[in-house]
């Protein structure tokens, strides 16, 4: 059997093309390819070479339209035993090809040529073409038979020469055919086939054979006519032959003649294939097949069988009909052929049949059928135990990979990848789905695996390590879930042994393991900066660990954030309004469908290292050693740093791959380059992306990451990355160490932060702002220092002072802090998120001004540095209890206060006396007219292990009413209170009186509401109002009192006493805050002109009290004129019933009763007065003291017709209850005269 046969093969003249001498294979191929175009030589062109010696037997030679067909067979082949039956099997001509430079001796060439031609006994024309002859060879005038020298010329010229020579050969052949036919017609030849019995012929058979001879001769003449390009002549001879053969029952030759006649029809009707011809061909060929089958002789079935001709005829017909329209018929023919192939004796014949069937199925578009038969071919090749057969098997199997969807990436790359990358992710969905199905179609996986295994086997046998490696890699990567661990190990060792035979640095298009998935891409590597969104996911815990490891072992990473902020050149605060482009692909701040297009832009900076996280998975049952893995960047402007990883069995690992962008432009990261199993492969993220997509849809066998225990993650695609020119880079550290700053609550400390420019361009602009919680703990920032340091050159640094004040710990925090303190450990953990951060926005120069005008976007971006202030607040002094201590000291009638310096709101007297400390604390209550001491007592505990010293200072503030604008502070020389560790102590803080100037209506209306609707809805409102009043008072009070503490050498701070005061005052807000409705006071009437009322109402506070000892003393047995002053603190007139009593030291009423020691004139009780609002009225009376000593005078009043305000103030329960007001006691010292 012969490959590549068709009906027209019968009219082709077979020419052997033989290399003579040494011809380098590429040149031989080149010369052969020069011959190939001359396969058809039209008869019209050979007439000049043709000479008619005798009358041509080809009477109907179509000299105008006909042609001779050549079939060149490079290297020739041994002669076929069927040459007599089908002359086209003969090599009718031999062409030798000689390359002159390598074979200088032309005589020797001729000898070689003649020797080579010896086996081609049937050759009628012999020619040896010598190409590129040297000058000496050309000059050698010796004429050699059959040697043709092609003078050196360009290719067109040579082809022209060759064409001429082929015409010459054609003419010679034609003349030889004529000769042969004339001879055969006249003398006749004995034609035999292997079918004919080789045994001695019986007489009967001899007669039979003689009969048949004529038919066979006619058939052969017809064949030569066909070869000579004369189909009409051929047809005539075939018709005769058919008649004769039928008569002699020579079915085999009948079929042969029939075949020839079909070919003659086709050659005759060349170019016009109408249905009539088609039907004729089909009919005749079916006949041919039948007759070949009939010629089957049982006798010599072991030796030779006409079945090959039957199959050949079937294939010829199939090839003729091979069109989509006739697919059913062709399939049937091919199925029959395949069926017949099993009865073929020679394996080579079967191989050829399968090859042809596969080709024809391929032509029909039945890829799976074609692949099936290709695989059969490969199996036949594999049965031949030699290397060349194995190579052929490998190549044939390589052709089936497309149908079996186990293609090598190398073969896909040529067609699809290029146009597949173009559409990007925009039209994912369907495209992706199909891609996934096609790439990872798992369903026929057993077949795919078989094919891959066969490729591996054949590649190993053929000694092609790269193909073996590729097949094993594909098998392992795509079908690892279906392979047992032992099988996986076997594949791994196959990979290794293949790699050993490969030169190092070999690249393979098909990746093996591990699976690599793109995770996140960070420019930043600091724990704090990892977005909380990521920290919540389990992977980020992992990322965190990686961070740690990287920091410790391999990379000295900048502990700072290097955000890039778009700069708005039009604004002073250029960073505002532009969210940092950030290191994150997803930020919770850009919630507006961040993954809608699946990609975000990233900006990298030339010269600054970047990190990319990828996850590797090894789902197989062996330990995988990745010798080298680095980012594969096609854009060429990125230096990737390799890493080596060991992946244990069934494991996955997140690794950080880093590199440095080297020039401005775009960076494409399609995947990683991996050096594993001794071969360099490209692992594309997209493939794994698709694989995971397929796994999500259940199309793929298994997800390699999940079976390694890695959590399911949303697939992230690689963002668009662009590289921009260098920017300044600030690096910060806290002077004195980057550890946490440990502060006690309320502690104030200065901290210095060092900013250094680690970039290559100067910082031109910088701005500091605060973010995060507890921002008020940063009291001051040295902006000026930073501003004055600008521009900050590369390498320069600046130190910025900060003043920090530790915040108060919350309830829970202080508990834990206390607990930690008690357990002895240092509670220095910095709680996440409660520390403020400094945001330093900085930028380099604006670049060229002209550029700026042209294009605003060309402004180089600024950056943001986040300096987290790691403040650890420890619990300091803690309040246990706070209360208000107050004491009333009665005033002396007629006498000024013992130390007027402390009279509230009287600064001029301050300087008068600096008596005992305690006296300075005594202050007059302007509303009661009495003197009092008021302290805030704080009980504090010290849970720390330090000693605290507390000092109190009061910032004296002149009262507002005086319009004295000068603030001045008076440091009271209070002794410092020392609180030892784990002790309690009390600190007294002097407080001033604070009351409202008068009993306000508005205030009372609130209070009224409170009273009227005690449990009403308004109560909360009024309470709130009361509280706000209180808060305002407390605030003004606190602002003047500083309670400082000091601990150790360098810890000092302030106590926040606001809360303490609030706690202390909570119980008696009203009493403290609100004035009494009435203020009573006494004075001696005789010095009234000089000594003004010592009542110090806010309105009259400018009146100075001028003590006058001469007038102010009270003497016994003297009529002492006295006045009682009643001041109305409300805004309404109050009518009252006033009474005055005087008591002696024993507390006895000494005005009334039988033993009265004080006589009086005037009215002392039941005095009815009406006091207008905010004014005072007086009532005069006289007292006559009989006994010297101390007396106490008390005024009291019962208010008539009290209004609601007063009732509320007095906290009356029933409206009928009389409202009773009592003034403070006044002392009168009566001096004896004796």
- 879 is an interface residue for another protein by CB under 8 A: no
Q: How far is the CB of 482 from another protein (least distance, A)?
A: 13
Of the listed pieces 437-445, 497-505, 656-664, 990-998, which binds another protein according to CB under 8 A?
Answer: 437-445
Nearer to another protein, 170 or 353 (CB): 353
Nearer to another protein, 368 or 625 (CB): 368
Site residues for another protein, window 530-589 (CB under 8 A)? none
Q: How far is the CB of 619 from another protein (least distance, A)?
A: 21
Spell out the alpha helix ranges (H) of 296-386: 307-321, 327-341, 347-364, 367-383
Nearest CA to 490 out of 511, 510, 507, 475 is that of 475
Q: Which CB sits closer to another protein, 367 or 808?
A: 367
Nearer to another protein, 48 or 697 (CB): 697
Residues 753 and 1050: their CA atoms lie apart, in Å, by 19
Q: Judged by CB, which is closer to another protein: 371, or 1064?
A: 371
How does DSSP assign 907-943, residue by residue?
GGGTTT----HHHHH-EE-TTT--EEEEEEEEEEE--
Stretch that binds another protein, among 104-112, 442-450, 493-501, 744-752 (CB under 8 A): 442-450
Q: How many CB atoms lie within 10 A of CB 142?
A: 8
Residue 1188 — φ and ψ, nearest 5°? -70, 160
Task: Decide if residue 698 touches another protein (CB under 8 A).
Answer: yes
Tokens encoding 107: 């005589």
Nearer of residues 202 and 446 to another protein, judged by Cβ: 446
- Check residue 114 for interaction with another protein (CB under 8 A): no
Residue 959: asked if its preceding bond is cis (omega within 30°), the reply is no
Q: Which is nearer to another protein, 434 or 486 (CB)?
A: 434
For another protein, what does the binding mask look like between residues 396 and 435, x meaning CB under 8 A?
----------------------------------------
Please, which of residues 370-389 interact with another protein by CB under 8 A?
371-373, 375
Least separation in angstroms between residue 399's CB and another protein is 14
The least distance separating another protein from the CB of residue 372, rounded to whole angstroms, comes to 4
Q: How many other β-carbons are positioned within 10 Å of the β-carbon of residue 1180?
A: 13
To the nearest whole angstrom, how small is the minimum distance from the Cβ of residue 509 to another protein?
26
Q: Residue 304 or 447: which CB sits closer to another protein?
A: 447
Closest CB 702 distance from another protein, rounded Å: 14
Q: Check residue 697 for interaction with another protein (CB under 8 A).
A: no
Site for another protein in 1003-1022 (CB under 8 A): none
What is the bridge-based pairing of β-strands 125-131 and 147-150? parallel
* Least Å from the CB of residue 451 to another protein: 9
Closer Cβ to another protein, 457 or 495, answer by number: 457
**Nearest to another protein of 437, 1103 (CB atom):** 437
Residues 275-334 that bind another protein (CB under 8 A): 327-328, 331
- The torsion of the CA quartet 635, 641, 647, 652, rounded to 10 degrees, works out to -60
At residue 1158, the 3 state secondary structure works out as strand
Helices 327-341 and 307-321: crossing angle in degrees, nearest 10, is 160
Size of the site for another protein (CB under 8 A): 24
Nearer to another protein, 36 or 696 (CB): 696
DSSP class per residue in 511-556? --S-EEEEEEEES---GGGS-HHHHHSHHHHHHHHHHHHIIIII--
- The least CB distance from residue 435 to another protein, in Å, is 14
**Residue 438 CB, nearest approach to another protein (Å):** 11
Element (H, E) at 470: helix 465-479
Among residues 367, 662, 1148, 1203, the one that binds another protein under rule CB under 8 A: 367
Which residues, other chains included, contact 74 with Cβ-Cβ below 8 Å and sequence gap of 6+? Answer: 17, 28, 32
Nearer to another protein, 451 or 655 (CB): 451
119 or 437: whose CB is closer to another protein?
Answer: 437
Q: How far is the CB of 295 from another protein (least distance, A)?
A: 25
CB-neighbour burial class of residue 370 (10 A; exposed 0-12, middle 13-18, buried 19+): buried
Residue 331 or 1174: the one with the smaller Cβ distance to another protein is 331
Least distance in angstroms from the C-beta of 366 to another protein: 4
Contact range with another protein by CB under 8 A, out of 143-151, 389-397, 443-451, 1035-1043: 443-451
> Residue 445 or residue 1111: which is nearer to another protein going by CB?
445
**Residue 346 or 967: which CB sits closer to another protein?**
346
Choose, by CB under 8 A, the member of 182, 184, 277, 450 that binds another protein.
450
Report, in Å, the least distance between residue 444 CB and another protein. 6
CB-CB contact of 1036 with 995 (8 Å): no
- Which among 391, 489, 405 is positioned nearest to 446, based on CA atoms? 405
Near another protein in 335-354, by CB under 8 A: 335, 338-339, 342
x/- letters, 651..690, toward another protein (CB under 8 A): ----------------------------------------
Query: CB of residue 699 vs another protein: minimum separation in angstroms?
Result: 9
The answer to whether the beta carbons of residues 952 and 935 sit under 8 Å apart is: no
Tell me, residue by residue from 822 to 841, as one string, x for binding to another protein by CB under 8 A and - for no binding.
Answer: --------------------
Round to whole Å and give the CA distance between 268 and 1172: 144
Q: Does 591 help bind another protein (rule: CB under 8 A)?
A: no
Any bridge partners for residue 718, and if so which? Answer: none
* In the complex, least distance from residue 365 CB atom to another protein, rounded to whole angstroms: 8
1094/366 Cα distance (integer angstroms): 121
**Cα–Cα distance, 1126 to 666 (Å, whole number):** 91
Residue 331 or 834: the one with the smaller Cβ distance to another protein is 331
Chain-centre distance of CA 762, in angstroms? 31
What CA–CA distance (Å, rounded) separates 531 from 518?
A: 18
Contact 1159, 1142 (CB under 8 A): no
Alpha-carbon distances of 1133 from 1078, 1136, 1169, 1178, 1196, rounded to whole Å = 11, 10, 10, 15, 17
Task: Please state, in angstroms and rounded to a whole number, the distance separating the CA atoms of residues 170 and 164.
Answer: 10
| Site for another protein contains 447 (CB under 8 A) | yes
3-state SS class at 185: helix
Considering only 177-185, 368-376, 758-766, 1110-1118, which stretch makes contact with another protein by CB under 8 A? 368-376
For residue 828, the number of C-alpha atoms closer than 13 Å in the C-beta half-sphere is: 9
Neighbour tally for 177: CB within 10 Å: 27
Q: Which of 366, 604, 622, 638 binds another protein (CB under 8 A)?
A: 366
Question: Applying CB under 8 A, does 368 fall inside the site for another protein?
Answer: yes
> Parallel, antiparallel, or unpaired: how do β-strands 125-131 and 91-99 relate?
parallel
C-beta of residue 1065 within 8 angstroms of C-beta of residue 1058: no
Judged by CB under 8 A, which of 49, 63, 296, 444 binds another protein?
A: 444
- Residue from 38, 284, 350, 369 that binds another protein (CB under 8 A)? 369
Which class for 679: exposed (0-12), middle (13-18), buried (19 or more C-beta within 10 A)? Answer: buried
For the CB of residue 290, give the shortest distance to another protein in the complex, in Å: 21
Task: Write the CB contacts of 1116 (distance below 8 Å, at least 6 apart in sequence).
Answer: 1185, 1186, 1187, 1188, 1230, 1231, 1232, 1233
Q: In whole angstroms, what separates CA 845 from the centre of its chain?
A: 31
Give least dist CB 395 to another protein, A. 19
- How far, in Å, CA of 960 to CA of 940, rounded? 33
Which residues are near another protein by CB under 8 A? 327-328, 331, 335, 338-339, 342, 361, 366-369, 371-373, 375, 437, 441, 443-444, 446-447, 450, 698
């Amino acid at each position: 059997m012969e490959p590549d046969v068709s009906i027209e093969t019968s009219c082709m003249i077979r020419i052997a093309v033989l290399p003579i001498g040494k011809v380098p294979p590429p040149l031989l191929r080149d010369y052969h390819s020069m011959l190939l175009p001359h396969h058809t030589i039209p008869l019209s062109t050979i007439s000049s070479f043709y000479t008619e010696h005798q009358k041509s037997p080809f009477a109907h030679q179509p000299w105008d339209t006909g042609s001779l067909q050549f079939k060149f067979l490079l290297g020739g082949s041994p002669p076929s035993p069927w040459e007599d039956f089908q002359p086209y099997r003969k090599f009718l001509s031999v062409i030798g090809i000689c390359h002159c430079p390598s074979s200088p001796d032309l005589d020797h060439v001729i000898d070689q040529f003649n020797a080579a031609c010896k086996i081609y006994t049937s050759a009628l024309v012999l020619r040896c073409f010598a190409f590129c002859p040297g000058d000496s060879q050309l000059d050698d005038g010796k004429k050699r038979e059959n040697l043709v020298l092609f003078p050196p010329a360009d290719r067109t010229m040579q082809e022209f020469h060759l064409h001429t020579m082929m015409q010459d050969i054609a003419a010679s052949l034609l003349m030889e055919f004529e000769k042969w036919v004339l001879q055969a017609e006249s003398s006749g030849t004995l034609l035999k086939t292997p079918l004919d019995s080789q045994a001695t012929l019986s007489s009967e058979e001899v007669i039979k054979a003689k009969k048949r001879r004529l038919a066979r001769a006619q058939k052969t003449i017809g064949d030569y006519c066909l070869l000579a390009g004369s189909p009409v002549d051929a047809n005539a001879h075939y018709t005769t032959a058919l008649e004769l053969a039928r008569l002699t029952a020579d079915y085999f030759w009948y079929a042969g003649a029939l075949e020839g006649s079909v070919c003659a029809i086709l050659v005759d009707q060349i170019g016009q294939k109408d249905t009539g011809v088609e039907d004729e061909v089909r009919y005749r060929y079916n006949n041919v097949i039948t007759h070949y089958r009939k010629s089957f002789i049982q006798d010599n079935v072991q030796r030779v069988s006409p079945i090959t001709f039957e199959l050949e005829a079937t294939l010829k017909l199939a090839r003729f009909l091979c069109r989509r329209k006739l697919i059913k018929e062709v399939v049937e023919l091919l199925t029959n052929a395949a069926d017949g192939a099993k009865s073929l004796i020679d394996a080579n014949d079967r191989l050829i049949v399968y090859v042809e069937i596969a080709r024809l199925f391929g032509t029909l578009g039945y890829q799976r059928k074609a692949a099936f038969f290709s695989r059969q071919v490969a199996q036949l090749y594999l049965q031949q135990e030699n290397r060349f057969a194995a190579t052929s098997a490998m190549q044939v199997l390589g052709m089936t990979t497309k149908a079996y969807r186990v293609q090598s990436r190398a073969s896909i790359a040529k067609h699809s990848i290029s146009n597949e990358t173009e559409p990007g992710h925009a039209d994912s969905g369907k495209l992706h789905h199909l891609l996934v199905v096609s790439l990872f179609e798992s369903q026929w996986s057993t077949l795919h695996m078989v094919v891959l295994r066969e490729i591996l086997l054949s590649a190993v046998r053929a000694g092609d390590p790269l193909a073996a490696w590729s097949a094993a890699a594909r098998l392992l990567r795509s079908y690892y879930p279906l392979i047992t661990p032992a099988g996986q190990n076997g594949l791994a060792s196959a990979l290794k042994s293949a790699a050993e035979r490969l030169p190092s640095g070999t690249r393979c298009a098909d990746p093996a393991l591990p699976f690599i998935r793109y995770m996140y891409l960070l420019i930043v590597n600091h724990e704090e900066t990892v977005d909380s969104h990521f920290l919540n996911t389990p992977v980020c815990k992992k990322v965190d660990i990686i961070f740690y490891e990287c920091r410790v072992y391999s990379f000295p990473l900048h502990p700072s954030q290097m955000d890039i902020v778009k700069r708005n050149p039009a604004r002073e605060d250029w960073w505002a309004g532009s969210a940092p482009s950030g290191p994150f692909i997803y930020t919770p701040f850009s919630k507006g469908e961040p993954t809608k297009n699946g990609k975000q832009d990233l900006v990298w900076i030339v010269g600054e290292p970047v990190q990319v996280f990828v996850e590797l998975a090894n789902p197989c049952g062996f330990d995988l050693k990745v010798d080298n893995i680095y980012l594969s960047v096609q854009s060429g402007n990125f230096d990737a740093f390799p890493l080596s990883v060991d992946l244990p069995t069934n494991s996955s690992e997140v690794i950080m791959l880093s590199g440095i962008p080297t020039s401005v432009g775009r960076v494409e990261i399609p995947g990683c380059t991996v050096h594993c199993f001794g071969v360099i492969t490209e692992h594309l993220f997209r493939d794994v992306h698709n694989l995971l997509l397929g796994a999500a849809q259940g199309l793929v066998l298994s997800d390699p990451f999940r079976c390694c225990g890695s959590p399911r993650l949303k697939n992230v695609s690689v963002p668009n990355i662009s590289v921009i020119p260098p920017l300044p880079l600030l690096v910060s550290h806290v002077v004195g160490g980057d550890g946490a700053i440990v502060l006690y609550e309320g502690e104030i400390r200065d901290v210095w932060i060092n900013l250094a420019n680690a970039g290559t361009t100067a910082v031109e602009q910088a701005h500091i702002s605060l973010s995060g919680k507890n921002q008020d703990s940063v009291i001051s920032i040295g902006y000026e220092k930073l501003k004055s340091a600008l521009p900050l050159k590369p390498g320069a640094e600046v130190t910025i002072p900060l003043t920090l004040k530790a915040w108060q710990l919350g309830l829970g925090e202080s508990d834990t802090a206390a607990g930690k303190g008690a357990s002895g450990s240092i509670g220095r953990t910095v709680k996440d998120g409660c520390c403020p951060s400094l945001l330093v926005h900085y930028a380099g120069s604006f670049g060229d001004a002209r550029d700026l005008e042209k294009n605003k976007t060309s402004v180089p971006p600024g950056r943001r540095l986040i300096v987290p202030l790691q403040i650890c607040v420890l619990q300091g002094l803690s309040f246990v209890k706070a209360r208000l201590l107050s004491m009333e000291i009665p005033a002396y009638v007629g006498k000024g206060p013992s130390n007027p310096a402390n009279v509230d709101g009287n600064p001029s007297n301050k300087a008068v006396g600096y008596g005992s400390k305690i006296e300075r604390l005594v202050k007059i209550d302007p509303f009661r007219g009495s003197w009092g001491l008021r302290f805030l007592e704080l009980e504090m505990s010290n849970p720390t292990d330090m000693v605290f010293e507390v000092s109190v200072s009061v910032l004296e503030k002149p009262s507002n009413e005086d319009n004295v604008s000068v603030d001045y502070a008076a440091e009271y020389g209070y002794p410092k209170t020392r609180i030892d560790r784990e002790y309690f102590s009390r600190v007294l803080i002097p407080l001033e009186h604070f009351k409202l100037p008068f009993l306000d209506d508005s205030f009372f209306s609130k209070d009224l509401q409170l009273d009227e609707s005690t449990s009403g809805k308004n109560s909360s409102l009024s309470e709130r109002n009361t509280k706000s009043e209180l808060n305002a008072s407390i605030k003004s009070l606190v602002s003047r009192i500083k309670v400082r503490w000091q601990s150790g050498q360098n810890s000092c701070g302030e106590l926040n006493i606001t809360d303490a005061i609030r706690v202390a005052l909570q119980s008696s807000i009203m009493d403290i805050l609100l004035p009494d409705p009435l203020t009573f006071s006494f004075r001696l009437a005789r010095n009234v002109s000089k000594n003004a009322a010592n009542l110090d109402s806010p309105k009259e506070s400018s009146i100075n009290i001028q003590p006058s000892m001469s007038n102010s003393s009270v003497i016994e047995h003297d009529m002492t004129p006295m006045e009682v002053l009643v001041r109305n603190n409300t805004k309404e007139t109050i009518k009252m019933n006033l009474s005055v009593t005087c008591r002696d030291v024993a507390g006895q009423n000494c005005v009334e009763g039988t033993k009265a020691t004080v006589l009086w004139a005037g009215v002392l009780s039941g005095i009815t007065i009406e006091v207008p609002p905010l004014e005072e009225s007086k009532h005069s009376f006289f007292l006559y003291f009989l006994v010297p000593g101390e007396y106490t005078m008390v005024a009291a009043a019962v208010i008539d017709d009290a209004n609601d305000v007063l009732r509320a103030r007095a906290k009356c329960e029933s409206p009928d209850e009389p409202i009773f007001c009592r003034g403070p006691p006044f002392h009168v010292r009566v001096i004896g005269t004796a």
